[in-house]
Amino acid sequence: MRTLGVIILAVALRATHASPLQAQGGDAIPGVEWVRIPAGTFQMGCISPAMPRRCDADEYPRHAVTITRPFDMMSTEVTARMFRAFTPLMEEQPVWSMNADQPVAVVTWDDAVKFCKAVEGRLPTEAEWEYAARGGREGAVYPWGDQPPDDRPATASGAAFEGDSPRAVKTFRPNGFGLYDMAGNVWEWVSDWYSVLGPEPVTDPKGGDGGGFRVVRGGSYGDDMSNLRVSNRNPNRPASRNVNVGFRCARDPR
């Protein structure tokens, strides 16, 4: 099994405090935008005719997943601005974090869960994340289709990758569901424990029952294009604080 630190820039920063996060309340958090994701069925896992040898063993077998209810997803990753409004006890950010609209990093899985609760949401399941990332494009390699990623701003296949830092959210065009940066920028925590995929069709899956690793998705600014594939999945220890791991929240319909 791969660990996140083997394949990406997973350098942990020194913690700036020892006390737990203290939320100021969801109504004080600016810039949170929600996009409604419709219910539906999709094929989860690797189908990569353009790069048949770049899929990893944990992306198979491809199988049908049904999401029975619509859900909301944040249109962007949680930014440094949003997270600072959530708590003044924010961990020291990487040296590249010079723009408050860049994604927050150096957050544990528990940090992400607490933020999502503050905005009356939750972390997405891994299946919800992949379904939303595909943006209605069945079988595509990336959120925008099969074209290789491009780091020029405002491009449809745009993503921050193979670089030293992420970009401000909304630098590139959104996917078919209106979600930005579902590939590149920072890896994103999801709710699931890391587990192997099965071949059977499933409905509203929640992932494994436990273990030592949670799942992160989407690739990051320090990765090559193979890690930006929409089916790519990686384990990360929930207490890890990495300079290239952030998150976005989901919520149930209101």
Listed in sequence order, the DSSP H helices in the chain are 4-7, 80-86, 109-118, 126-134
Of 40-49, 79-88, 152-161, 202-211, minimum mean pLDDT range: 40-49
DSSP sequence for 186-208: SEEEEEEEP----SS-EES---B
* 3-state DSSP assignment of residue 35: strand
Tokens of 50: 């353009």
pLDDT for 81 beyond 90: yes
Q: Is 82 exposed, middle or buried (0-12, 13-18, 19+ CB in 10 A)?
A: buried
pLDDT band at 12 (very low <50, low <70, confident <90, very high): very low
pLDDT at residue 9, as a whole number: 41
Measured CA to CA, the distance from residue 221 to residue 217 in angstroms comes to 13
pLDDT at 53: 55
Q: Which residues partner with 216 through β-bridges? A: 189, 234
| Residue 110, amino acid | D
Q: What is the pLDDT of residues 213-241, one digit of tens each?
A: 999 999 999 999 999 999 999 999 999 99
Amino acid at 235: P
Instruction: Return all residues near 166 (Cβ < 8 A) that are at least 6 apart.
Output: 96, 102, 103, 160, 181, 184, 185, 186, 220, 221, 244
- Give the model's pLDDT for residue 48: 56
Q: pLDDT at position 124, please?
A: 98
Q: Are strands 245-246 and 187-193 parallel, antiparallel or unpaired?
A: parallel
- Is the pLDDT score of 164 beyond 70? yes
| Confidence band of 208 (pLDDT split at 50, 70, 90) | confident
Q: Model confidence over 129-146: pLDDT tens digits?
A: 999 999 999 889 999 999
CB atoms inside a 10 Å sphere around CB 122: 17
Mean per-residue pLDDT, 174-185: 98
Q: Which option is the CATH number for 1-8+32-254: 1.10.3720.10, 3.90.230.10, 3.30.465.10, 3.90.1580.10?
A: 3.90.1580.10
Domain ranges of the chain: 1-8+32-254
